[in-house]
């Protein structure tokens, strides 16, 4: 009860910190490439080049960047096999798997409403 009671309300401060962190994570995760990478990984472990082939249109740079980001947030695990040529494999961690489930929901939604959206667009563009 006496801990850190001098700098205003500590509980509020903690909440603000958590909020800003949540917002930050949201920005990281809510981006096209991150979502597609997570979807592509699914339950399998894939090599860098396999991911690159799996995700159509992603550039070498974007794949590296997003993989680093996901690794940093603990959503994917990166294992390097010390052989020549190098063999690097990526797989979802448990938090990553959990996220994938919700992303699956997003994919289902997309396919379910594909028609709605297409017609809505045509009506709007007129």
Element containing residue 90 per DSSP (H, E): strand 87-92
Where does this chain touch DNA (CB under 7 A) — which range of 14-22, 30-38, 100-108, 109-117? 30-38
Residues 6+ apart with CB under 8 A from 91: 41, 44, 45, 46, 76, 77, 79
Binding of residue 98 to a second copy (CB under 8 A): yes
d(CA 17, CA 5) in angstroms, rounded, equals 17
| Contacting residues toward DNA, per CB under 7 A | 31-33, 47-50, 52, 57-62, 64, 67-68, 78, 85-88
| Contacting residues toward a second copy, per CB under 8 A | 18, 21-22, 25-27, 29-32, 35-36, 71-74, 95, 98-99, 101-102, 105-106, 108-114, 116-121, 124-125
């Amino acid at each position: 009860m006496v801990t850190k009671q001098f700098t205003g309300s500590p509980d509020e401060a903690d909440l603000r910190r958590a909020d800003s962190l949540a917002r930050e994570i949201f920005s990281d995760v809510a981006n096209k490439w991150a979502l597609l990478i997570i979807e592509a990984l699914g339950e399998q472990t894939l090599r860098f080049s396999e991911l690159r082939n799996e995700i159509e249109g992603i550039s070498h740079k974007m794949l590296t960047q997003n993989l680093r980001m996901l690794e940093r947030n603990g959503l994917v695990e990166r294992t390097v096999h010390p052989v020549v040529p190098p063999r690097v494999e990526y797989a979802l961690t448990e938090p990553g798997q959990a996220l994938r489930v919700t992303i699956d929901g997003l994919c289902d939604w997309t396919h379910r409403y594909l028609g709605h959206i297409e017609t809505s667009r045509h009506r709007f563009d007129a």
